Amino acid sequence: MIGTGFLGIDAYEVHLLDESHIPELMTLQQEVVSALPNKAILQPLDEDELGFILRGNGLMIGVFVGGKLIAFRALLEPVIDDEHLGYDIGLQSEAELKKVLYQEISNVHPKYRGFGLQRTMADIIMQQIDLTKYNIVCATVMPGNIASMKDKFSQNMHIAALKLKYGGKLRYMFMKQLPEARSYWTEERFVSMNDSNAQQQLLEAGFIGFSMKAEGHDWFIQYVK
């Protein structure tokens, strides 16, 4: 057991997961997808993908209430190929790429939303990372996915790139250096999330996306250097 707490009046425990939990993971994913108004928002992992992570290619933690799995979050050690996110953030050598983990899927049962479990799981799973093996965590987020972007910024991840990935889909590349270093900057710009060109120009000039804020019906990314 690597964590405990309460969700309202329900006590929970957090455990590292293994292959024996795959049936529970599949069931929970279906419950989560069934409750979504737009089923396309979430792409569940299949048994092979879950098994790949759980066989030592990453980390997965689960939150249990009364012995039932009600949430999970995963980190993946990716295969090194042409699509590796390390290349997108400026890494070049295979030795550097091997030290990268991806933030993968995160699911919370509909009954237990609103308790901040996504952030709690993020804090716990990041504490399980072996810093002798990994020094960077990456994630991709679709522009406009406000909940996911808030999740990444809340973990002190920053935007390192904005590129077309996965067959031409525009994605933010978030990253976090481990152990975490303090950030200092002398310049800042706020750019609308809808202005991809301006954001890409700032990123190419050495700025990073540090936070976000809402103004009217628009969201603005704070870029700093």
Find out whether 32 and 69 touch, Cβ atoms under 8 Å. Answer: no
What does each C-alpha distance from 13 to 24, 68, 178, 223 come to in angstroms?
15, 10, 26, 38
Amino acid identity for residue 72 in this structure: F
**73-106 pLDDT tens trace:** 999 999 999 999 999 999 999 999 999 999 988 9
Low-confidence ranges of the chain (pLDDT < 70): 39-41
Give me the pLDDT at residue 182, please. Answer: 80
Find out whether 207 and 214 touch, Cβ atoms under 8 Å. Answer: no
Give me the pLDDT at residue 184, please. Answer: 87
Instruction: Say how far apart CA 163 and CA 166 lie, in whole Å.
Output: 10
Give me the pLDDT at residue 183, please. Answer: 78
Residue of 143, 24, 125 whose CA lies nearest to 76: 125
What is the set of domains in the chain, with CATH numbers?
Answer: 1-74+104-126 (3.40.630.30), 135-225 (no CATH)
Token pair for residue 79? Answer: 């295969």
Query: pTM to 2 decimals?
Result: 0.89
Give me the pLDDT at residue 185, please. Answer: 92
**189-215 pLDDT tens trace:** 999 999 999 999 999 999 999 999 999
